[in-house]
Structures are given as C-alpha cells and as structure tokens.
A and B are shown apart, each in its own frame.
Chain A
Amino acid sequence: MTSTAEAAAKPRLRPSLRGALSYDERAAYLFVAPLAAVLMAVAVFPILYSFYISLFQLKLTRPGHTPFVGFDNYVTVLSDPLFWHAVERTVVFSVLSVVAIAVLALLAALLLNQDFPGRRVLSAVLLIPWAIPYVANALMWKWIYDSNYGALNGLLYQLDFINSYMVWLGDSDKTLALIANAFVWKEVPLATILLLVGLKTIPADLNAAAKVDGANALRRFVHITLPSLKSSFALVVVYETMMAIRHFDLFFVLTEGGPGNASNVVAWRIYVETFRNLSFGTGAAMAYVLALATLALAYAIIRALAQRM
C-alpha cells in the first residue's frame, strides 16, 4: 500500500539529496521528532536515573554507605516472599478490575451508541466519576465502605438485605474486591469513551446490510461489532492493565496495605520500600521489575488483540 503511494507520488518528488531516506521516511521522522524531543527531554532522564539508583545500596539513614551492588537489589527483591505475596495480590486486583472495566465499559458504550432522547445527558453524566479529584474520591469510598456508619451498610440495612452492619474493608476476603470496585468506578468513563470511539468506526450500512441478510441483534453483535472493536479493546485492556498494576492512590487512603497484608500490592510495596523503609535502591529495583513485567504483558496483549502492530 505504501509502495503504491510512493509510486503514485513519484512524479512530485524533489530530487533526493538525502540518500538512503525516502521522502516518506523523512516526512515520518519529521512528524515524530517533536514527540521524540519531548520524551527525550523530560521522561528519559528520570527513567534512566531511577535505573541507575537501583544498582546501588541506597539507604537514606546511612548516607555515607552507598556502595555499587550491581543487580543485588534485584535478587533481594525477587527472593522476598512478601514480594511474591504482593504479586499475587496485584494479579488478583488487576484481573478483577480489567475484566469488570471491559464488561461495564462495553455495555455503557453500546448503550451510548444508540440514538435516544436523553443520551446527551447520559454522556455528560458519564464523565463525573473521572472528574472527581483523587482525594475526594478515595475519602468518599472510604466513607461509603465504613463498617460503623458508612452508606453501603446503611443502604443494605435499610433495604433489609442485612440484619446488622457488616465489616467491609476490614474483612480480608472482601478488601481487594472493594478497592477494585472503587478503581473500576473511576476508570469506566475513559474505557467507555475509547470503546465508543471504536464503535463509531463501524460503518452503519454494514449493520443494515446484515439485517437485510437476516441476522438478529446477537449475531450482528458477535460477527460485526466485536471483531471491529478488536483494536479498541486492545487499547482499553492494555491501558487499564497498566493502570491497575501501578495503581497506588486508593491503597494508600483506604487500607495502607492491610488488613494483615490483604491489600499489599506491589505498587504499595514500592512506596513502603522507598518512603517508609527509606531504601531507595531496592525500591527502584522493585519498580523496574514491575515495569518489565508490565511491558511484557502489554506486548503480549497487543500482539494477541491488535491488528497491525
């Protein structure tokens, strides 16, 4: 396709003095240059510096003693059973969250894709969870979930679903699911919008033609809608997986890793290692381990779902 474009464009090419690079490639590099500049100038230094730190033993309470230890920090991190417990907690949290987000966002996107009065109101309302500032959101959920006087207990009690107030966050079996719920609630708007944009690329007459051929709603959904949504889905799944794996805010406000390690995810461990134990070296090492795992996961998801990457 691009070669056709090049062939078609050849008559208009200026004589190439640039040797190996074609017009297309030069244009491409030019277009990508600002992006590369921004990332190089701002993002790369912190990332590289952080890797550099991970190669040293850097405990702030021993400022004079910072030897180079190579990959020792990584070994320490990977051989800590608490780290693997955190990995398990992170996996549970992420899977729960991403599945819930994908399902809810798909339903919401399908709804908003229909034409009916009041749809504009719904799409405006959709953005509200996304727009609430993090502290207000976390405290709101902490309030709602509170076992002594929270709204969740109050609602269930008034609707007669429970006889007396239940323990929510403090029940280690429920903790992660509750935090996931708060996370999902705030992430669904963005996921919905991305899927909605994806739905918009499906030409309307494709569905109409299928109707002519006698396909019912379900068959149309499975054979037309879902395949066309593949790359939007990839987008949503990759992004939300990345966000879930590194999420920290809710864990900080709601449970601080408790009760009894029930919500002790890797992102929380990194925070504890860096800012509570004041061990910057191992904190950075843990962050890099997480980063590599996330990158591998993102690669796998993209290869599996996206069309052309």
Chain B
Amino acid sequence: MTVLATASLSEVRHYRTHSPWRRAGRGIGLALASVLFLAYVLAPVAWLVSSSVQSEREIISKPPHWIAHEPTLQNFAAIFAAKDKVVTYETRKARDPASGGFIPSTATNLLPAMLNSFIVASVVVVLNLIVGVPAAYAMAKVRFRGRNASIYTILATRVIPDIALVVPFFLFIRQLGLLDNIWSLIITYLAVTVPFSVFVLVSYFESLPDELDKAARVDGCSRLQTLTRVYLPLALPSLVAVILFAFLASWNEFLLALMFTQTPASQTLPIIVASFTSDFTISFSFINAAGVLAVIPPVILALVFERYIVSGLTAGAIKG
C-alpha cells in the first residue's frame, strides 16, 4: 500500500483538491472553525484586556462597557513606575489603591517577580529534560525489571492533592534552609512536573518504531547514542510539549510558592498578583492589568516553539 501511495500520491492529491468548490468549502469550513476557536479562547481574555484599561468606576457599569468609554493607562503606569528605596511618611503612597493613580508599592514588585518566575520556570524546564528524557527512553524502549511498576510509581507521586502536602513540604524545605530562596521552588517544581513530563515522553517514545533502535544498535551505537542521535530529533514535538508544560506549570504554581517565599527576593508572579487583593480593597482593573502582563512571556515562548509542534514529524525514517 505504501509503495503504491508514493507513486500516485501527487496525482491523487492534486485531483482531490483541484475542484474549486472543494477548496472554497474547505476554506469556509476552516474560517468558521477558526472564528469559533478564537471566540472561545479570546472572549474572556478580551474582557480582561478591556477592563484593565478602565477605571474602577467604569468597570461596574451595567451593562458592561465592552470598549472603555474613558480608557486609562494608570494601572500599567503604576506597574512600570520606579521603585522607591525607603518608604517614609512623605514618600508613602497615601491613597486608596482602588481609586487609581496611586497604586501601593507592591505594584513595583510585579516585574522583579516576573523575572523570578521566568528564571525558576526556565531552570525547571532544563532540569525536566535532563532528568526526564533518558528515563522516558529507558522506560519506553528497554525491557528491565520494575519497568511497569515504575510508571505507576511515578504517577503515584502526583495523586495526593497539594493541599495535603503543603505542610510536609514546608517542613522539608525549612529543614534544608531554603526558605525564601528560589531554589526551594526549583527543586519542588521539578519533583512536581517531572512525573507527567516522563509520562508524556514515554507515551511518545512508545509510538516511535522499535526498528530504529535495532538499526542504530546494528550500526554500533550505544544506548546513549541511540537516544541522542536517533530518537531525540524524532521526538521534537513531544519535547516541545514537555517544555511548554513544565514552563507553564512552574509559571502558574501558587500554593507552594506562597508558603516558601517571604520577600520580593524570591516571590514569584502569582504571589504578587494575589497580594493585590487585600483586606481592604481589590482594584479589579489593576489585577486584570497585571494579568495581561503576566500572559506575555508565556505567549512569546509559545510563538517561538509552536512551529516545532505544528510542523510535525517526517515518517520517512521507516521507509529509509
């Protein structure tokens, strides 16, 4: 079947989509699907963006103002404002935060916190790959004792809800003296993301043909070389999935970061955003502005990496 297909492939494809009706139909179908997709994903986000440029007073309009009647950039301005060294009676921001224009000093922690989040997430990604890829390859391609059990054991480390693990984790980190240190987050996030990363990679490696393995071994490769020279390039889409997953899981994680960090030295983005909700007031427009900014780095990451997922795998390895 394969040989036949190769021969007549170009003719067949050309014939099938040659009809202009077919092409138009496909085009319309795709356009419609795209619009629905965009609407589903972007509608709440559009509201997020829109409300981030409105004032507190405008936000409670009924019905809501989809486009701001009196747009203001005060929320973003406050976030990018310079940091005060020492806050004294004179320099303190002395207004109700929700009335806008005077945002409390925790706002200036947002960008440093984003940097912390970015560093933590990046290191976690790298470590995930270093630790996870060899393990996944071995579990997928090598028959060894304890292989089946190991997969379930790995999953088992993730079945307990985080809430129950908070105090034990805290005790553990405190014992290591890593409180208020981003390394506490890095090692914890690694332990928390690597099980699923391995699960994804195992699943993907298993779908890659074993013949490649044999072929490489016959050619004289060691296991390590088989992994790096043959399977890794083929596994690019799953690697990217793991990168995105590990990055975003670390970027988003809130509960453990809340417990392990104390000062802006190690606080990550989710903590700072949550700190804008105080006992006295919440400025929704401000929080939404912070939310908008928080989305930007992951989206950039996605733009960089998405082609590796979407572009796909060449199945030519088998035929060759």
Contact = CB atoms under 8 A, between A and B. Distances in A.
A103 interface: no
Contacts of B2: 205, 209
A100 B187 CA distance: 33
A28 to B, nearest CB: 4
Interface stretch (B76-84, B88-96, B98-106, B133-141): B133-141
A242 B155 CA distance: 10
A179 to B, nearest CB: 14
Nearest to B1: A209
* Interface residue range, chain A: 35 or more
A114 B30 contact: yes
Contacts of A29: 138, 144
Interface residues of B, number: 127
A161 interface: no
A53 B51 CA distance: 45
Interface residue SS majority, chain A: helix
B37 interface: yes
Contacts of A185: 40-41, 44
Interface in A283-309: 283-284, 286-288, 290-292, 294-295, 298-299, 306-309
B284 interface: yes
A190 interface: yes
Q: Which of A49, A127, A198 has the most CB of B within 10 A?
A: A127
A24 B142 contact: yes
Contacts, number: 342
B63 A120 contact: no
A191 B47 CA distance: 24
A203 to B, nearest CB: 4
Interface stretch (A78-86, A135-143, A170-178): A135-143
Nearest to B218: A8
A8 B295 contact: no
A16 to B, nearest CB: 15
Contacts of A35: 131-132, 134-135, 154, 194, 198
Given A39-B195, A114-B30, A126-B41, 14 more contacts: A28-B139, A41-B187, A42-B190, A43-B157, A108-B37, A122-B37, A133-B270, A154-B64, A193-B245, A201-B204, A208-B12, A212-B5, A270-B161, A283-B164
> Top 9 nearest A-B pairs by Cβ distance?
A136-B291, A287-B164, A131-B298, A203-B315, A46-B168, A154-B63, A42-B191, A31-B134, A31-B138
Interface of A: 1-2, 4-5, 8-9, 12, 24-25, 27-32, 34-35, 38-39, 41-47, 49-50, 53, 104, 107-108, 111-114, 116, 118-120, 122-137, 139-141, 143-144, 148-151, 153-155, 157-158, 185, 188, 190, 193-194, 196-198, 200-201, 203-205, 208-209, 211-212, 231-232, 234-235, 238-239, 242, 246, 248-249, 267, 270-271, 274-275, 280, 283-284, 286-288, 290-292, 294-295, 298-299, 306-309
